[in-house]
């Protein structure tokens, strides 16, 4: 009898899919890939967006230097090879979060178009939304902010291969969201992103 009773509670629908999790959470998963110069405001927008999404009951999770560079990518340096592997791993982690139903907010300079395009392909091949958010900001404005004092060090030659100084930043050709952080308010930026999430049916209208 115990055996029979137990059998009744079996889960019969096979593996849980993205659709099951979207139903549970009330929204779809997606990756928002923030890219832009150091000091352009990527993390500022991502933090604000995460707060707004949480208020709306949407599960979002930020991937940034704090939890990635110190964790899964702590055995990577800053050679060209390691930078590419850094972005590849972040892309794979973001994809797992999308599969789990969450909105992954990836916030890294990610200066090379080829690396970003590889992550885009990973997502699109799996039928997942990849939304490239270009946090566009004039170099002078980013350098004037210099929140971590990194431009100063790069100008002094203490940091080599610094994006925008002695290493290129390859701007996205056709990002899904193009922000201008040197002339938009934070709220305008967040609203612009939310509008795209609604248009795509990722979050409720």
* Sites of contact with a copy of itself (CB under 8 A): 3, 6-7, 9-11, 13, 15-16, 20-21, 24-25, 47-48, 50-52, 54-55, 57, 59-63, 67, 71-72, 75, 85, 89, 92-93, 95-97, 99-102, 185-188, 190-191
- Using DSSP's 3-state secondary structure scheme, residue 39 falls into coil
Q: Are strands 30-35 and 103-107 parallel, antiparallel or unpaired?
A: parallel
CB of 70 to a copy of itself, least distance (A): 10
Rounded CA gap, 120 and 71, in Å?
A: 23
CB of 152 to a copy of itself, least distance (A): 26
CB of 173 to a copy of itself, least distance (A): 26
The catalytic residue positions are 110
Distances (CA, A) of 118 to 50, 62, 112, 114, 199: 25, 20, 10, 6, 24
Nearer to a copy of itself, 72 or 139 (CB): 72
Q: How far apart are the first and last CA of the chain?
A: 49
Positions at the binding site for ATP: 36-43
């Amino acid at each position: 009898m115990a055996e029979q009773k137990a059998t009744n509670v079996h889960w019969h629908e096979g593996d849980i899919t993205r659709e099951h999790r979207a139903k549970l959470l009330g929204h779809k998963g997606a990756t928002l890939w923030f890219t832009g110069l150091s000091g352009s405001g990527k993390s500022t927008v991502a933090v604000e967006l995460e707060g707004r999404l949480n208020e709306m009951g949407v599960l979002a999770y930020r991937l940034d230097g704090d939890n990635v560079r110190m964790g899964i990518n702590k055995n990577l340096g800053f050679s060209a090879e390691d930078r590419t592997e850094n972005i590849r791993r972040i892309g794979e982690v973001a994809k797992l979060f999308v599969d789990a139903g969450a909105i992954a907010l990836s916030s890294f300079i990610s200066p090379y178009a080829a690396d970003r395009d590889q992550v885009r392909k990973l997502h699109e091949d799996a039928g997942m939304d990849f939304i490239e958010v270009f946090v566009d900001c004039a170099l002078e404005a980013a350098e004037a902010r210099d929140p971590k004092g990194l431009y100063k060090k790069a100008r002094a030659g203490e940091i080599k291969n610094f994006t925008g100084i002695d290493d290129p930043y390859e701007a996205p050709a056709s990002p899904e969201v193009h922000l201008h952080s040197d002339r938009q308010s934070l709220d305008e930026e967040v609203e612009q992103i939310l509008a795209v999430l609604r248009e795509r049916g990722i979050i409720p209208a």
